[in-house]
Amino acid sequence: MRFIQVLLLAALFALIGLGALYVVAPTRFVELAVQAERWTAGLEHKELDIPGFHLHYLDSGGTGTPLVLVHGFGADKDNWTRLARHLRKHYRVIALDLPGYGQSDAPTTERYTIGDQVERLHAFVQAIGLSRAHFGGNSMGGNIVATYAARYPNQVASLWLVAASGVSAAPQSELRKLIADTGQNPLAPSDAVQYRSMLQWVMARPPYLPNAVVDVLAARAVAAQPLRAKQFADLVEEANALEPLIRSLPIPTHVLWGAQDRVLHVGAVRVLSAVLPHATHSILPGIGHLPMVEAPEQSANDYLAFRLASRG
């Protein structure tokens, strides 16, 4: 009984300590929260070098078939953490920070087009010793992994396109219309107010985040704004239609989209289905541009069903 009392007392002091940390050192609180989520998901933080860049990534390890996950514009490897918790028992989950994002090197002198990032992804895959893997990507990351599959089809066992960008024939989204009409890009916020607005753009059902945590994340995004503006300009300057690249690609593919996506129109699902007649798709009601963040378990189960059906 006394042992249980000691444990409860220790837990109480730990909670008090975390509460104090949240108030006096919110940045450190966010770092510890991120580490805790990675630990819960069974992900280990790792680092390596590819030509020109030092990269950071998360890896569940194990002997399962490798699943490489690529984040979108302005995002990072931790966009996949909550999803990975539901997949790591089935696969070796690997999520990297692309060059220019997250903790990876981000030189302003480099270019950040889809083609550039495809080759850097290829270098990363080679550096971790994978000759063949399954790939998934969200938004810009979906465009990257799809282009990767077109360039290196023998190295791609399957594709998971989560609200992938680059679908030129898709209907115009709210974001595309805003950028066309005003030149403003909500995905590259320059102050905390714009950052909070950005969260509403990318998610219809965002997870709860305390105000102090949002403040820390907003400060990071604002600091990165000049680089994000340059990266977005690079993407626009060398934008290519995805459809001709992947037309009739003989790789098992699953397309996942949120019905309430404001960033990229859900009508892209129809376009991709026409280009990839053997691909499957799912549309999640009430979900925005980040299904793996907004509905991680549902997204994971949807992916598991795809892999089971494709026997991958």
Q: What is the largest CA-CA distance in the chain?
A: 69
Q: Which helix (H) or strand (E) holds 92?
A: strand 91-96
Q: C-alpha 80: how far from its chain's center? A: 6
- For residue 23, the model assigns a pLDDT of 57
- For residue 311, the model assigns a pLDDT of 77
Cα dihedral 102, 106, 112, 115 sign: negative
- For residue 279, the model assigns a pLDDT of 95
Q: What are phi and psi of 188, to 5 degrees?
A: -125, 70
DSSP string of 14-44?
A: HHHHHHHHHHH-HHHHHHHHHHHHHHHHT-E
User: What confidence tens digit (pLDDT) does each residue in 221-280 have?
Assistant: 999 999 999 999 999 998 889 999 999 999 999 999 999 999 999 999 999 999 998 899
Selected catalytic residue, list 56, 71, 86, 254: 71
- In the residue annotation, 139 being an active-site residue is answered as yes
- For residue 69, the model assigns a pLDDT of 98
- For residue 64, the model assigns a pLDDT of 83
- For residue 5, the model assigns a pLDDT of 35
Residues 17 and 97: their CA atoms lie apart, in Å, by 31
Selected catalytic residue, list 56, 60, 104, 139: 139
pTM of the model: 0.92
Secondary structure (3-state) at 235 = helix
- CA Rg, the chain, in Å? 20
Tokens of 201: 């753009």
- For residue 212, the model assigns a pLDDT of 86
- For the chain, what percentages of helix, strand and coil (3-state, to nearest 5) are there? 50, 15, 35
Tokens of 73: 């514009």
Digit-by-digit pLDDT tens for the chain (312 residues) are 443 433 333 333 333 444 545 555 778 888 998 999 999 999 999 999 999 999 999 999 988 899 999 999 999 999 999 999 999 999 999 999 999 999 999 999 999 999 999 999 999 999 999 999 999 999 999 999 999 999 999 999 999 999 999 999 999 999 999 999 998 999 999 999 999 999 999 999 999 988 888 999 999 999 999 999 999 999 999 888 999 999 999 999 999 999 999 999 999 999 999 999 889 999 999 999 999 999 999 999 999 999 999 875
Indicate the burial class of 110 (C-beta count within 10 angstroms; 0-12, 13-18, 19 or more).
Answer: middle
- For residue 195, the model assigns a pLDDT of 96
Residues 117 and 286: their CA atoms lie apart, in Å, by 31
DSSP string of 183-197?
A: ---TTS-SSHHHHHH
Residues 134 and 68: their CA atoms lie apart, in Å, by 6
Tokens of 202: 């990318």
